[in-house]
Amino acid sequence: MLRVIRISSLLLLALVAGIWAYAWVTKGPQETLGEAFASRLAGVFGQDMAVPSAGGGGLQTPGGISLGGPFELVDQSGKTVTERDYAGRWLLVYFGFTYCPDVCPTELGTMASALDILGAAGEAVTPLLVTIDPQRDTPAALADYVPRFHPRLQGLTGTPEQIAAVARRYRVYYARVQRPEMTDYLMDHSSFIYLVGPEGRVRSLFRPEMTPEQIAAAVEGQMRAALRAGS
Ligand code: NI
């Protein structure tokens, strides 16, 4: 019996290692290794982990922990903001950094286009960029950056501890990468757009390859469901 368990756990380990290697090889230019792994893993285990949706209770991790919740950050004007400042509003939240060469600008552009498609309904949604590079992304740097994407996009930064705390609540992966041939460092980071409901919990996650049309339709669907549920 023990031996069977040992062999099956070895097989599982080999399977996970294999998926990791497969993710490494097939990783697209827009994906981080972490994202590629999550999506290949989801593919193998038959769960759509990357685009889940939830009602008023919010999305939960397999451990039963809700994504989202309280935070304290600093906006691009230097003012301290918390989740209470956004109570009752829908949010589209993206975690990234202003030095990002390609993925962040693409995703922020997608988010802005989704808002444009939503039109008047989009007025109820506040788009947020939360930096995972607080060292370089000061309020002034964010104030300069966010209007390039959308007039209502707000940039949020904070101390490294505040950023780590909000990233934990949203299960955001980020890590500093220093390549020898580069003078500036980069940030490796997961790249999902989060739809947060009026109660501050994550309702949906949007993968990087989703189109503005798909995101707008999903946001509209969640808003309509919330109206029906009276939440
Ligand atoms: Ni980026």
Is the pTM higher than 0.85? The answer reads no
Residue 112 sits in the same domain as residue 204: yes
Residues 6+ apart with CB under 8 A from 228: none
Residue 131 sits in the same domain as residue 31: no
Going from the Cα of 132 to the center of ligand 1, the distance in angstroms, rounded, reads 9
Whether residue 79 is contained in a domain is answered as yes
Residue 139 sits in the same domain as residue 189: yes
Average pLDDT over residues 86-111: 96
- Please name the amino acid found at residue 170: Y
Q: Is 225 exposed, middle or buried (0-12, 13-18, 19+ CB in 10 A)?
A: middle
Predicted confidence (pLDDT) at residue 97 exceeds the cutoff of 50: yes
Percent of the chain with pLDDT over 90: 67
3-state secondary structure of 132: coil
Domain count along the chain:
2
Whether residue 65 is contained in a domain is answered as no
Residue 182 sits in the same domain as residue 219: yes
Residue 25 sits in the same domain as residue 124: no
Whether residue 54 is contained in a domain is answered as no
Average pLDDT over residues 63-85: 92
Instruction: Give me the half-sphere count of Cα atoms (radius 13 Å) on the Cβ side of residue 113.
Output: 12
- Please name the amino acid found at residue 140: A
The rounded distance, in Å, linking the Cα atoms of 103 and 105 is 6
Residue 109 sits in the same domain as residue 19: no
Residue 101 sits in the same domain as residue 27: no
Residue 38 sits in the same domain as residue 87: no
3-state secondary structure of 158: coil
Q: CA-based Rg of the chain, rounded to a whole angstrom?
A: 19
Average pLDDT over residues 153-178: 97
Domain that holds residue 160: 72-229
Going from the Cα of 105 to the center of ligand 1, the distance in angstroms, rounded, reads 7
The rounded distance, in Å, linking the Cα atoms of 138 and 144 is 10
3-state secondary structure of 230: coil
Whether residue 115 is contained in a domain is answered as yes
pLDDT attached to residue 27: 57
Going from the Cα of 100 to the center of ligand 1, the distance in angstroms, rounded, reads 4
Going from the Cα of 128 to the center of ligand 1, the distance in angstroms, rounded, reads 14
Provide the CATH number for the domain around residue 204. 3.40.30.10
Going from the Cα of 104 to the center of ligand 1, the distance in angstroms, rounded, reads 4
Yes or no: say if 169 and 68 are a contact pair by the CB < 8 Å rule. Answer: yes
Model confidence pLDDT, tens digit, residues 144-154: 999 999 999 99
Going from the Cα of 34 to the center of ligand 1, the distance in angstroms, rounded, reads 13
Residue 21 sits in the same domain as residue 81: no
Residue 147 sits in the same domain as residue 35: no
Whether residue 66 is contained in a domain is answered as no
Model confidence pLDDT, tens digit, residues 75-95: 999 999 999 999 999 999 999
Residue 80 sits in the same domain as residue 191: yes
Going from the Cα of 96 to the center of ligand 1, the distance in angstroms, rounded, reads 5
Residue 81 sits in the same domain as residue 12: no
Going from the Cα of 110 to the center of ligand 1, the distance in angstroms, rounded, reads 13
Going from the Cα of 224 to the center of ligand 1, the distance in angstroms, rounded, reads 31
